[in-house]
Amino acid sequence: MNTKQIDKLMNVLLGISGGLILTGIIFRLQHWPNGNLILWTGFIANIVLSNFEISRLKKIIKESV
């Protein structure tokens, strides 16, 4: 995969994790079941994806210098 495809994939995955966080918040506010699970799934996915993105960007910066 080239960098443009990876950028698009990361944007989609980060958007999905953000959507999970927002959905979990709505579930929690409405006291619907599984709100905590959805919320924490979104948080964990966002942390993992952000760490991957940071390491990928560090590698790109290192190669360009």
What local confidence, expressed as pLDDT, does residue 40 receive?
97
- Scan for tokens 């952000």, then name that residue: 50
Kindly state the helix (H) or strand (E) to which residue 8 belongs, with its residue range: helix 3-30
Tens digit of each residue's pLDDT (9 = 90 or more) over 4-61: 999 999 999 999 999 999 999 999 999 999 999 999 999 999 999 999 999 999 998 9
What local confidence, expressed as pLDDT, does residue 65 receive?
83
Asked whether the beta carbons of 16 and 24 are under 8 A apart, the reply is no
Read off the pLDDT band of 1 (50, 70, 90).
confident
For the chain, which residues make up each domain, given as ranges? 3-64
